[in-house]
Structure 1
Amino acid sequence: MTMDKIPVTKNIRRPLAHVSTLATNHIHLRNPWVTVWLSALFPGFGQIFLGSYVKGFLLIIWEIVINVQAKLNLAILYSFTGQLHLIKETVNVRWLLLYAAVYVYAIWDSYRSTIDLNKFTILAQRERSAIIPFKIDSFEINYFDKRNPWIAVVWSIFMPGLGHLYTHRLPTGFFVLIWWIAITYFSHLMEGVHHSAIGAFEQTKAIVDPQWLLFMPSIFCFSIYDSYVHAVEYNKLFEYEQAQFLRSEYQSSAFKKPI
């Protein structure tokens, strides 16, 4: 390939994807109500799903800190089990009143950003934005290839974060993995699993901390869904880049396209 045929993405007005050694961040059509649901499930998940990593990571840290300090998960547990008299004794109002505004903002921001990025996706596809499919530096290698979405699901079921590492989304993968390990430790989940396996269910109930344990369903479901969707979209991006290359290198300019 000659130098003038090498794709240049630096000055593209609406890039479809940015490939770095740590991850491939790209835009594609998304249902805004899905991102709303993810943000309602756990503030920050909607932003990470859109590729806004810094904002998403900070919102997740905010959610965990405020939730733990306010004892919000315990209040939710007591409300579901009908122990309403314990909610007033458990909740820390000093922290709880900080929760609502940022929670609503995370939901609103994910919806607004999805609408905007969907518009940019359509424009980028019409402009046939160029993509560089291979990145390498002294620390890491990232490249386009076909990945099986169900393998990403299986790895995410084994441990959240591993499915993201499989799809080479290293920031999300290690962030989710580290938080999963921390939550597992503080919730005493492994001790609970051990006591449950030997039939000591009363000990399980006594040792497991529900305040931390209730974070797990959200992280578990998000990890499975997000890794699956991005594996599918990365495969589409691989096909898009391959089609762009074949069109530019092998399509004759004299070829009469069918109407």
Structure 2
Amino acid sequence: MNNYTNDNTSRRYKAHVSIFGTTQLHLRNPYIIAWWSAAFPGFGHMLLSKYLRGYALFIWEVVVNVNAHVNSAMIYSFQGNIDMAKEVLDTNWLLMYIPVYLFGIWDSYRTTVDMNKVYLLADREAHRFNLFSLGALEINYLDKRNPVLSVMWSLFIPGLGQLYIHRILTAIFVIIWLVVFFYYSHVQEAIGLLFLGKIKEATSVLKPEWLLFIPSHYGFATYDSYMNTVENNKLFEEELRSYLMENYQTKGFQILKGQKVK
């Protein structure tokens, strides 16, 4: 058996390294994943590397939210203007919004529970996986990286933290939608006016219904980059430990009561 590639002889394995990123199984808290799905549908699934389902729910959230005026209603509710909040809501879109929103939370929770079980089985089987991927477009390899740097770059621009740890698909998706949110919310224009001391003008140009998407976007990008950096580092250490034990440690090596016995 080749120790460095997955030859599909095992029922389960914990990780896969490709030119698009490192996908791995690890234990996750289903309540945290469900919370991210509640904060923004699709985020919970993207944290699980269920990209197609996550992208679909994310795009659905943006389209239906904007047409149902959910964010606008939330703003009026925060201001205590309940009557206006009811007035701006489009019930035709809202009736589609609620079932899928609840499905995203439930499905991410259910999937997390199932994937935790799969991880425990894969960990028990301990099948080796590939560590290096070289292609015409990219090179990816399992390595240790600094979680603090992942957070720092994500706080500058969401998506940069994912690029740092080579989560290419998530990085591209996050960056594209950040541009969309910035453009339609006019947040950069407002920041420019704010620097010039034109506070009223800065406030007036903002589009709150689009602006409310940005905090969740920043929060997800930061959490995702940090969490995956930590888990990638654990995966690297575990694989290196197994490799060194298999190839350099004598079979009779034991540790008893803090003493090495050969």
TM-score with structure 1 length normalisation? 0.95
Aligned to 1:99: 97
For residues 229 and 168 of structure 2, the distance between their equivalents in structure 1, rounded to whole angstroms, comes to 13
Aligned to 2:158: 160
Secondary structure of 1:40 counterpart: helix
Q: State how 1:91-240 maps to structure 2 within 5 Å.
A: 91-240=89-238
Q: CA deviation at 1:10?
A: 3.1
For residues 170 and 5 of structure 1, the distance between their equivalents in structure 2, rounded to whole angstroms, comes to 27
Alignment deviations for residues 19-49 of structure 1 (CA, whole Å, 9 cap, x no partner): 1111111110111110011000000000000
For residues 256 and 79 of structure 1, the distance between their equivalents in structure 2, rounded to whole angstroms, comes to 65
For residues 39 and 176 of structure 1, the distance between their equivalents in structure 2, rounded to whole angstroms, comes to 16
> What is the total number of aligned residue pairs between the two structures?
256
Aligned to 2:6: 9
For residues 194 and 135 of structure 1, the distance between their equivalents in structure 2, rounded to whole angstroms, comes to 43
Aligned to 1:58: 56
For residues 236 and 166 of structure 1, the distance between their equivalents in structure 2, rounded to whole angstroms, comes to 17
Q: CA deviation at 1:200?
A: 1.2
Secondary structure of 2:72 counterpart: helix
For residues 144 and 165 of structure 1, the distance between their equivalents in structure 2, rounded to whole angstroms, comes to 14
Q: What residue ranges of structure 1 are gaps of 5+ in the alignment?
A: none
**Alignment CA distance shift 1:256-1:151 (3 Å):** closer
For residues 7 and 92 of structure 2, the distance between their equivalents in structure 1, rounded to whole angstroms, comes to 47
Q: State how 1:20-39 maps to structure 2 within 5 Å.
A: 20-39=18-37
One-letter code aligned to 1:239 = E
Secondary structure of 1:239 counterpart: helix
For residues 175 and 84 of structure 2, the distance between their equivalents in structure 1, rounded to whole angstroms, comes to 33
For residues 70 and 5 of structure 1, the distance between their equivalents in structure 2, rounded to whole angstroms, comes to 54
Aligned to 2:260: none
Q: Report the RMSD for the aligned CA atoms in angstroms.
A: 1.4
Secondary structure of 2:115 counterpart: helix
TM-score with structure 2 length normalisation? 0.94
Q: CA deviation at 1:257?
A: 6.3
Secondary structure of 1:19 counterpart: strand
Moved over 6 A (4+): none
Q: CA deviation at 1:252?
A: 2.6
One-letter code aligned to 2:11 = R
